[in-house]
Structure 1
């Protein structure tokens, strides 16, 4: 309120100066803000989408590797020779034990040869047997070890945290990830041992070695959020610590988490429940946006300086001639059309003065001319819409008359000729556009007589209008298109014989003409299309020229509160209500509303 009062009390020159400054500065500010956020969001979305694809591909590679490990462990556990070796106690003969060990080791080495990403495959039995696919020096591995008990008590494969040592053989400090599977004796169902598979951590590290942008990276955590592989080796087997997230989005298989300094993209393995986590530093995304922001700030300062100087000079030069125009405009506002503006300049203000003088001279005549033209246009549109009504059934009716004459059904032929004669006599009605409701009822009744003679087996009809409606006036030919629609798109489409009712009611404010049929009716989508067509609403429409013609004539002459209403139930029929005003005293096609 205070600002409005302050602005209202400013001089025109100061207003122009203020407006020019605002119009110059505000767009630059808005463009700068929009450009910054658009560039940031585009960069962020591109980075997230690109990183999500990299994470997804890496997850697929990880799943492929881990599924291969699972398959190898399962094949080993089901190997018949291993089942037999673990079922029996170890032989007391060294030669036999050596031969058995050599046989099993060879089989394990064979399995490993099919998956070159494995470090080793080991079988540890309850009977004390230990077999391996590599030549590492064995540790003391017994069925009493905690890792053995953990594997044997599980029904599925068990994954262990990244470790610098194998549980089975001595290694040179290489990081390994172990997976174990119990071996169930197929003969008795007892757990006879376990399979242990070692995978070099480096194999998983290769999967996530791709960079996300310039400084973003990926790592893997297990289902307890302990780090499985990471470029920072000190974090292996440690609990992953991520920043608290402010926002989480679901993007297909991945979760996108936003924190204060990072964007995290996580996808969970369907094989192990492990997650590949991609980290994108936010400062990498804002770097380009900050450059754009700084450029816009520089442009902003330059433009503001130029705008202030130009606005002051322009407003001062503009105000004086506008003051002169304003004084003369107030006289015209008071109703003095004899005023004449002096033309001093040839610029836009001079042209405005010249045009204003011409406008004053023609204003009164133009207003009268427009009023007459609008009325003529309205009547022309009404005539045009009415003449669109085309009794296209005429040809079929004449064919039916010919057929009746040839069949020597002269009475029926005469009846049809009389009906079509009355139909067109009322339709022409000596050039009148408006007729009484009684005449309109007679018109549609003759139409029904003709159609029933043609489709006697398809429908009957009932006309039940109270006589108090007869004197009221209505546009001619508004019932026939509705009845035609009820025949061709309603009762004619049903196997059983249908019925059409025509009736009307009078209220204190309007008259309602009703056409009801027991035809096929309309499905909801068809009814919606019909309503779209009548109301010129958006959406798919129907080709219903006759009905649309009736609707347009009613609304053009009587207003938008009158017109057609359709209600329909598929399989039961359709009801059409035609709402018109109570019009009486028609003479020379000029009506008054009761």
Structure 2
């Protein structure tokens, strides 16, 4: 008898995949182009960041040199003595004073001639002055103007101002600079040093880098925006809006997108000058920077779309071939899915070898299902215990941070005894919280736990509240889910007694009633409005209560853990009224702790 060869899915796949491999090799070349395009994009981003960093470092270096000499000038003892003498009645400049002024300012000007436009020194409340500029100055020395109108805070502080029209020299261009107050007699305002920096100091670094045809660099500060390049009108950004967004941008460096006045999208990449916190930014139309990349991406996208269409059509053809022998098997599996495990799975001569293997595997699987069903109840119980453990582990850690900070503050103040007491209370608090990994503890341990918590909080907040604990002795050995009372007491402090001016009072009471343990946390705090109380009660009545407004995370966590451990008949109930405080009652069954 002729034996038909067994057909395999492997042979069907190989017949189809050979031409796919040919297509894949072709597509691989296209993908390489896409990767190259992405590399070009990454290079463009890197080049932009390098430009910003180099420009930032260059400006920082030059400004730092000037700042160092200005600081040294302001600290010059001879200059400070001269300014203090100038405040005395009948003061007249002596030849030595002229030498002191000329020597101090000329050295500063000479050392930084390439970037300093002029140096001004005012003293005797601005009535006397000294002036140094790059050409002989014969006209009247300018008045200090707006500088003496500014507030006087710290004498040693340096103040910077951005590029503006030099009102002291109308024939000149824009200047930026810095000024520093010099302390006079009795810590009063004695003198003022003003350094005006040349526009060329900023023009060269801001115009030299070639970002894109319509990209440019700007320098932003609280008093202005400096830029030099003129771009097409459709790419021009509003100067005030650009300056505001740069100053409001988070972090020392970053990027954001800005619309030009004509509605074009502009990318802004910024960095910060460490010397004076000015923002250096590159502004450019992204479409210009990535124009070449967009062309490559268009070609690649066309190829990808063609391959996708081919793959979809081929997959449909292949799926049709594969699903024919699988249709019968699918119907039988569907029967098993409906719960009828007595289904027959015979082998057919025309089936592929893989289908035969699947048949045998499903038959073996049916034999094991009954064993697995017996394990379901055990696994569900383990799942419930695991969920309880997860909820219990989610108690917020902020209490630890705040307490450690309070201990540090006590140590800083030299209150080592109080710090030691608080640290001991914190140790006991977390010893009970851990409780050797057990999810339940005795009521006595839970009361000790909140006692330590209240002790720590009272040390932190002083006499703003008092507390009292009264629990029947019979229920001290009852079992309770740990960390039940702490979130409730925390709410009583932060949402109750801390919101009223009077001294707060927190009471913790416990008793047994018809085989049910009741623990009650009561405060005389702010209380709740009727609508909020209604929402809270509705949330507690729902399954989980996660999506209901009006219920905090800590309350939901405690309520959920109690119901997971004891059932839906137990949990939390609330009573409250405006100005009457809040009472929360915990219900759980009486079970003695081993």
Q: Please give the range of the TM-score, normalised by the shorter of the 2 chains.
A: 0.3 to 0.5
Q: Provide TM-score, normalisation by structure 2.
A: 0.42
Report the structure number with the largest CA radius of gyration: 1
